[in-house]
Amino acid sequence: MDPLLAGSALLVGGLVAGFAQIASWRDRLTLTQDSEPKGKAAKRDSLDESVAHILVAIYAATLLTILLAVDANVLAMYVPAKDEVPMLGRGLSSSTIALSSYLLFLMFLVLANLWSAYSDSNEVPRRMGGAD
């Protein structure tokens, strides 16, 4: 359980850093808007959507970290004594699995949006997976 707790805490830190990076990209895109106005709205929208997903992922990963810490303490009380795990432990475990699945889904959404913004802004050819 400790590696999961450490991994989820690391995920929160990585998501915060990713949020800062995408926010700086968005700021840079806004600064260059005056010189190249055409086609920037779709790129900004894609980055804005990615930022929104990352913020939700930060909240979800923080909640996951808290759930893992509580779940580890609840299970530590019952598993060594070989008692039956209470309903609270089962609920926490299933909540942890559901939240982890949701975070994985959010990561796929963010990666797709970031690839779209990257391929649009850098004019990646269609043969290499771009929209050009």
What gap in Å lies between CA 62 and CA 72, rounded to an integer? 15
What SS3 state is found at 82? coil
**pTM of full prediction above 0.75:** yes
Please write the tens of the pLDDT for every residue from 66-90.
988 888 887 777 666 666 667 777 7
Write down the residue that tokens 């700021």 correspond to: 27
Please write the tens of the pLDDT for every residue from 89-125.
778 888 889 998 999 898 888 888 888 777 777 777 7
Token pair, residue 35, equals 């010189």
Torsion over CA of 90, 94, 95 and 96, rounded to 10 degrees? 100
